[in-house]
Homo-oligomer: A and B are copies of this chain.
Amino acid sequence: MGGDFGPHCIVPACIASLAEHPSLQLILVGLPSVIEPLIAEHPSVDRSRLLVHPASEVIAMDERPAQVLRGKLDSSMRQALELVRSGAAQACVSAGNTGALMALSRHVLKTLPGVDRPAMVTAIPTQHGSCLLLDLGANIDCSAEHLYQFAVMGAVAAEALGTSNPRVALLNVGTEEIKGNQQVKLAAALLREARALNYVGFVEGDGLYRGEADVVVCDGFVGNIVLKASEGLAAMIVARVEALFRSGPAARLVGWLALPLLRRLQNELRPARHNGASFLGLQGIVVKSHGSAGLEGFRMAIRRALTEVGENLPQRLHGRLEHLLL
């Protein structure tokens, strides 16, 4: 029910995903009166693979997490998480209120042993590949221990996604040991002791995009701002290039040829919007699709959930965390 476009975007995205993944079964949780007519527009869909689970309430995009925890027991978001908790579903994908989703996920699914707070993670593109950046805004203030836990979780996620012995770094204002705030310096001390992790030290903002690490850890305040600033900058570059290319007939020709390439790049550079973000550290899989994600963005979020199911990510995390945190 969530996101800027709601079921009008999510239902077609789900139907497209069913075609893409023949063994996928989806349960749409929300108001049947809204969802059913949208499904009915696709009469050929196999309804045995597209179920509707009714929920009578919807969490608004601006509701406060504390409020959400107390009220709305029959919200679509809570019911979807209950399906994961009970085992009726293997993952929950939502485009709704991020803070509410995080609060409800912790409440309904609980964190893995040793994890104080789940983190939000996504893959961002780098010069020659990609890297996982976390936390993206679920945890505004973080202690050194929280950053350490994020590093462990990020490393396990990177391994599950195919990077062996991932390089783990802390995002900081310099690479020397004396740089940074107290939390970052203390987290570095903890990570230097963690022999089972391939900790490579601090990376700066530019090192992030140079691909100096496979997992980059920061608090949610910094991560959220860096990610959104990157999206904004990418959009601005494309807008400026478009304007440059409108400046004359020869430039127009170049623009006509170059812009599809630039747009492809821009999509890659809107990672959360494009790929969705995972909540790590929960006893279950939760993927957050960006609120303003279109059909393609929601499909990407479903794909990400499928990958995590295939890799058994919570169980893998559980095993590694026991070793590294407890």
Chain A residues engaging chain B, CB cutoff 8 angstroms: 62, 64, 125-127, 137, 140-141, 171-173, 176, 178, 180-182, 204-210, 218, 220-222, 224-237, 239-241, 244-245, 250-251, 254-255, 257-258, 261-262, 265, 269
**Which of B180, B234, B257 contacts A233 (CB under 8 A)?**
B234
Report chain B residues within 8 Å CB of A180.
140, 221
Top 9 A-B pairs, shortest CB-CB distance: A205-B228, A206-B232, A205-B229, A209-B232, A173-B224, A205-B225, A254-B257, A209-B236, A206-B228
The answer to whether B229 and A173 have CB atoms under 8 Å apart is: no
Question: Known contacts being A258-B254, A258-B258, is A207 close to B181, with CB within 8 Å?
Answer: no
Q: How far is the CB of A145 from chain B (nearest CB, A)?
A: 18
Can you name the residue of chain B whose Cβ is closest to the Cβ of A247? B261
A204 near B178 with CB under 8 A, answer: no
Does B181 lie within 8 Å of A141, measured CB to CB? yes
Task: Collect the chain B residues with CB atoms within 8 Å of residue A255's CB.
Answer: 258
Q: When the two chains form the complex, which single residue of B222, B224, B257 contacts A250, counting CB atoms closer than 8 Å?
A: B257
The chain B residue sitting closest to A180, CB to CB, is B140
Closest B residue to A225 by CB, please name it. B205
In whole angstroms, what is the CA distance A207 to B245 when docked?
24
Q: Which of B204, B227, B240 makes the CB contact (< 8 A) with A205?
A: B227
User: Distance in Å from the Cβ of A74 to the closest Cβ of chain B?
Assistant: 25
> When A171-B225, A254-B254 are in contact, do A261 and B232 touch as well, CB less than 8 Å?
no
For A207, the chain B residues whose CB sits under 8 A away are 232
Partner of A261 from B176, B221, B225, B241 at Cβ < 8 Å: B241
Q: Within the complex, what minimum Cβ distance (angstroms) separates A95 from chain B? A: 16
Q: Is the CB of A236 within 8 A of B181?
A: no
Report Cα–Cα, A262/B234, bound state, in Å.
13
| Contact for A230 among B205, B221, B262, CB less than 8 A | B205
- B221 close to A208 (CB less than 8 A): no
